[in-house]
Structure 1
């Protein structure tokens, strides 16, 4: 076996998770890059000792110490570790909860990720998000988990292959739902545009309902004219305020929702690309492939190959990698 494959296998063994749960949480102290990958989990990254650079789709996020990054499901992302230090990771499978109509609406508004910056986020908003994360960590790791890197690091393997206490997983998911709802309601404080401030409160309520309507009917033949009529605005007025509210045009928004849904379907190896294109609301597989590549940079077949579940994720090491390779 090649030494880099041995190293990757060794790295996998260092990431210890509890069993019989749809949650994966760990305090990562490995100085490692993670190449492009995706999964149907939401992923929350909370650097505590050192920053990260994360590329989600075509957007780059420089996540400083104590910033929080929430990556939406089925988003292709790549992680760079410029310096050693601990980071908290939370991954949770939401595929069984997507039947809640407002979950998809929230993810569509937040996609590809929400970056909560400690330096610019209102203190009370930031503190509430941290409170949710601390509650989750206490349920998973126990009280006062060793987060920060020290000279005498504690062995995290004490949680390996153990189970959560009864109903703790349910409680963690309930907190995650509160966190997602809280982020969606305060999304204008996290986005770097001021699109919400340009709309009246009445319009914001109407457009929120429109986003829900699109999320429920995106596989149908929706047009700007039909949706503006549903919203009760003229086509031109609706187009302007919708772009202010979402930061994108109606057709770009609709197409991105279809692509987002297709990304989740690509986790099912039994579905063909043609099946996925029609189930996602595209008129043809050619139109689907063109839109998908424009959004992600990859064809659907190429994107499918990055699925972490189907194709185990390799890890590119720095500090620990060098030491391991030198001794083997």
Structure 2
């Protein structure tokens, strides 16, 4: 999915339902006096390590454009920025943690961003605030990018609506390296051509979109594993093999195997086998069935093969396990 595929018609500031309004009074923007008082204290709670302002020449209003980038650091419990104090500003804000831990609230959810994670918001969004976590005792350092332009704001709204406000980027992501390479003296000013400035902003937004898409795929893979594991745990072992498991979860055998290898470092066959051994252990402890009967019940037509596999997994024979073993030991397989 590209940014062009996203529904950009809704804003993260969209109106709440009547029920939500009744449950909690709406947040209001601060007064001018409250805002001035806030900033008088706020500027004392952090420091800029470096900051670069962009002043494209000439200005083309609709083009995405960066306003400033830089690195801040903070170790002050008073540090907090709420959207309600930023009513005079209208730009997008991306804050990427370099070290330590940052606090971020969006709507009713609290987040902690560690190195490699960042949040994306409209700076005047009443639903958001970011802050130095009260439980932290280390310096929070973070890269910030402020950008504006009608197209950029629409893209930002679409990304947050579709993927949420939290994004993960590797430190060696090309656009991060490119922006960090612009570090210089505090409060420097750059006058790029508007097309070059727009390119920086769009490249960052595309990197965030790619991150969101990758996370979406990862979540889908984990859902697949959970569904498969539930089927394995609930199905009689004699009725299940990898082909049948893949059919039940609706993917090919090859895709199921790739996902299991990536997420569990084991094949579906190994997991099914371990579940069969788990089932046999319960039967050994809770019934008087013979080992041969148990072998047939869990799907082994070859009795000697069952004993070989059981010994390989449990490091003991079925009869020895019946006398001395404990089903609790199977917790090491990660299936229970």
> What TM-score bracket applies, with the shorter chain setting the length?
0.3 to 0.5
Greater Rg, structure 1 or structure 2? Answer: 2
TM-score norm. by structure 1 comes to 0.40
Bigger relative CO (Cα 8 Å, ≥ 6 apart): 1
